[in-house]
Chains A and B, each alone.
Chain A
Amino acid sequence: MSLTNEIIQQKLTEKFGEQLSHWEQTYGMLTFIAEKDINVKVLQFLFDDEELKFRFLTDLQAVHYPDNKGAELAVVYHLHNLVDNVRIRFKVFTDIAKPDVFTATSLYASANFMERETYDFYGINFVGHPNLIRILNVDEMDYFPLRKEFPLEDQTRVDKDDDMFGR
């Protein structure tokens, strides 16, 4: 395998500098955080660069961190370089009050449904998406169910002592 995580990190730092941060290698996968406004630029650079060639969008989803004030929602991209068989992951954080992130549909046709799903569950507004409507939930739903403020179990239950047995 010629393309190592170090080379990828070096090339990305050269191009974007301080805009990328929090470099990590979790379970062998290079992970970093990009500034919100440059997500498509990072994707495009990773796609176009002759050495990097990350041309397969494996997965796209969001995570909600309610305690992370001002940057509650994270959009996570998993990319795959099929030639050298390297995967990377990067995230962009956005404010829950104004969850606007640029769409990746211009680059990847596969992002269409994945962004709709992310919108459906987290309410992230993908700017420029051709058809950003709910996909798995009913159209009439007026909230975003995977956000952490919607607990799965009824929180008014008193018969269950969460200190002892809860999760």
Chain B
Amino acid sequence: MMICLGGRNFSQRNKGNQVHNDTLCFLVNLASLCETKNMTSEHILLPEGSLEKQTTTLNLGPTHPATHGVFQNILEMDGERIMKATSTVGYIHRAFEKIAERRALYQITPLTDRLNYCSSPINNMGWHITCEKLLAVQTPKRVDYLRIIIMELARISDHLICSSIMGVDTGAFTGFLYVMQYREMIYEIYEEVCGSRLTTNMGRIGGFERNFTNKAFQKLEQFLAEYPKTLKEFENLLTRNRIFMERTIGCGPISAERALNYGFTGPNLRAAGVDYDIRVHTPYSSYEDFDFKVPVGTTGDSYDRFLVRNQEMWQSIEIIKQAYQKVQGFKGAESEVYHADVPAYYLPEKKDVYTKMEALIYHFKIIMGETEMPVGEVYSSVEGGNGELGFYLISDGGRTPYRLHFRRPSFIYYQAYPEMIKDSMLSDAIITMSSLNLIAGELDA
């Protein structure tokens, strides 16, 4: 109420008579306000057109707790119904593409971590695979299988977050808590392999920085033994839960045709019924050696996306089991291979650097980013946590990429969001957003 008071009048009058109560003060000031502005009307004038306006403008985000990240949508609401949404993106833009133009290849890996940080190892591997394609490096089978173990673990950690957060958004916290322990376990495996947990910077061009330790394999075994049970429990809690089904079925649907037109990829596209999976279509890292199914949905609504992600987790577990078996199958010298022979890009062992001339030279050249790349243009993509993660790398023969573009799946499919939530309730919009698995880091690059 005090907002519309003229500051000057307010203080003058209060000086004269301290016993004015607020209401009286307001009325008196309102009168004087009208007087000073020569207004003949007794009413407060509102902005042009605001009385005719039938909708309310609501800012959803950018720091709303229910949006799980820095997302802003300006909604035009008719009561509880969304008439129009306008997305604002770019709050955490960090100019990765520009930075990459001054970085040697190995220094770009930490940038990729920060795209989809729920599954950083997939981004890391995707980047290494792109570089290997440019440099025509053939990785040994054991490296491919180890990479697949890590990538599928990352996919599980990505999907379990998304699926369980959907539970939280519909009001069920328990499932989230159950599966979160297993993300912790996955992070411990990462830690054992590369030393870090969230932004992993894992691996190098050609393979891994060191062989997997026995501890890592033990943890993997433990994960494979325990996680299916918990995942089953998690599914029991939600999949046929009536409240959950009623909240998610028919919520934010998209047809296969629209999804393709909007550039959907990954689980969101498969939920709409298109069986496009890069692991099958354009196998990389020896995915062709594995036997797995590609789950698809039918209606493309939030419930289907949830189901597809859960099924993908089961498939990932199967892939990890097969890959682990294949890794165990290597005998003798082969069982020690963890990188390809690319001396110009793969850092030599430290003890060699101190004792051998050649290793010292390579070490220096790599660290200082002095290695010239071959000229070429390469597009390579991997099946990321939420879709086709592509890297378009142009090299002009210099030491850094001439141009590097990340095809970020969530950036591309986020533009469908206003269409998906149009005419739905606000609470449905929240569930639609969490079911799309939007990651702000990837969205804004």
Q: Which residues of A contact B (CB under 8 A)?
A: 26-27, 29, 31, 55-59, 61, 63-64, 76, 78, 82, 85, 87, 89, 108-110, 112-114, 117, 121, 134-138, 145-146, 150, 152-153, 165, 167
Whether the Cβ atoms of A110 and B98 lie closer than 8 Å is: no
Kindly list 9 other residue pairs between chains A and B, CB separation below 8 angstroms, not including A27-B376, A109-B261, A110-B413.
A26-B378, A61-B405, A64-B403, A76-B392, A89-B379, A108-B261, A109-B415, A110-B261, A114-B263
- The answer to whether B261 touches A63 (Cβ under 8 A) is no
Query: How big is the B interface, by class?
Result: 35 or more
Contacts of A61 in B (CB 8 A): 392, 405
Contact A136 B104 (CB under 8 A): no
Whether B261 pairs with A167 at a CB distance below 8 angstroms is: no
A59 touches B93 (CB 8 A): no
Nearest residue (CB) in A for B368 is A165
What is the distance, in angstroms, from B106's C-beta to the closest C-beta of chain A?
Answer: 13
CB contacts (< 8 Å) of A167 on chain B: these are 102, 104, 369, 398-400
Cβ-defined contact, B415 with A82, below 8 A: no
Counting CB contacts under 8 A, is B281 at the interface?
A: yes
Residues of chain B in range 98-119 having any CB-CB distance to chain A below 8 Å: 98-99, 101-102, 104
Residues of B contacting A108 in the complex (Cβ-Cβ under 8 angstroms): 261, 263
Min CB–CB distance B374 → chain A (angstroms): 11
Bound-state CA distance A57–B262 (Å) is 9
A87 and B379 form a contact (CB under 8 A): yes
10 contacts between A and B (CB under 8 A): A27-B133, A27-B376, A31-B377, A58-B388, A82-B260, A89-B377, A110-B262, A114-B412, A146-B97, A152-B102
Q: Pick the contact of B101 from A85, A89, A112, A152 — CB < 8 Å? A: A152
**In B39-55, which residues have CB < 8 Å from any A CB?**
none
Residues of chain A within 8 A of B97, CB atoms compared: 121, 146
Interface SS of B by simple majority: mixed
The 5 closest A-B pairs by CB, nearest first: A110-B263, A136-B90, A136-B93, A152-B102, A167-B399
Determine the distance from Cα of A106 to Cα of B422 in the docked complex, in whole angstroms.
Answer: 21
CB distance from B26 to the nearest CB of A (A): 38
B270 to chain A, nearest CB (A): 12
Contact, CB under 8 Å: A58 / B407: yes
A136 interface neighbour in B263, B394, B405, B445, Cβ under 8 Å: B445
Tell me, in angstroms, the Cα distance from A113 to B443 when the chains sit together. 11
- Which of A63, A64, A78 meets B379, CB within 8 Å? A78
Q: Which of A59, A110, A137, A138 contacts B405 (CB 8 A)?
A: A59
> How long is the Cα–Cα vector from A114 to B89 in the complex, in angstroms?
12
For B415, list chain A residues within 8 Å (CB).
Answer: 109-110, 112-113
Q: What is B's interface to A at a CB cutoff of 8 Å? A: 89-90, 93, 95, 97-99, 101-102, 104, 133-134, 258, 260-263, 274, 276, 281-282, 368-370, 376-379, 381, 388, 390, 392, 394, 398-400, 402-403, 405, 407, 411-416, 444-445
B277 to chain A, nearest CB (A): 11
Do B379 and A59 have beta carbons less than 8 Å apart?
yes
Q: Are A29 and B379 in contact (CB under 8 A)?
A: yes
Q: How far is the CB of A65 from chain B (nearest CB, A)?
A: 9
A121 to B381, CA, bound (A): 23
In the complex, A112 Cα to B414 Cα: how many Å? 11
Query: Separation in Å of the B71 CB from the closest CB of chain A?
Result: 14
Q: Which of A58, A89, A137 contacts B90 (CB 8 A)?
A: A137
**Residues A63 and B394 in contact in the complex (CB < 8 Å), given A85-B281, A113-B414, A135-B90:** yes
The CA-CA distance from A57 to B312 in the complex, in Å, is: 25
* Distance in angstroms between the alpha carbons of A127 and B378 in the assembled complex: 28
Nearest-neighbor residue (CB-CB) of B402 within chain A = A63
Q: Would you give the shortest CB distance from A123 to chain B, in whole angstroms? A: 15
Kindly state the separation between the CA atoms of A110 and B387 in the bound complex, as whole angstroms: 14
CB contacts (< 8 Å) of A87 on chain B: these are 379
Q: Given known contacts A113-B415, A137-B93, is B263 in contact with A145 (CB within 8 Å)?
A: no
In the complex, what residues of A have CB within 8 A of residue B403's CB? Answer: 63-64
Q: In the complex, which residues of chain A have a beta carbon less than 8 angstroms from the beta carbon of B378?
A: 26-27
Chain A: CB-nearest residue to B88: A135
Distance between A53 CB and nearest chain B CB, rounded to angstroms? 12
A78 to B412 CA separation, bound complex (whole angstroms)? 14
Kindly provide the distance from the CB of A44 to the nearest chain B CB, expressed in whole angstroms: 14
Q: Are B376 and A152 in contact (CB under 8 A)?
A: no
Select B377's contact among A26, A114, A136, beta carbons within 8 Å. Answer: A26
Q: Name which of B95, B104, B411, B412 has the most chain A CB atoms within 10 A of its CB.
A: B412
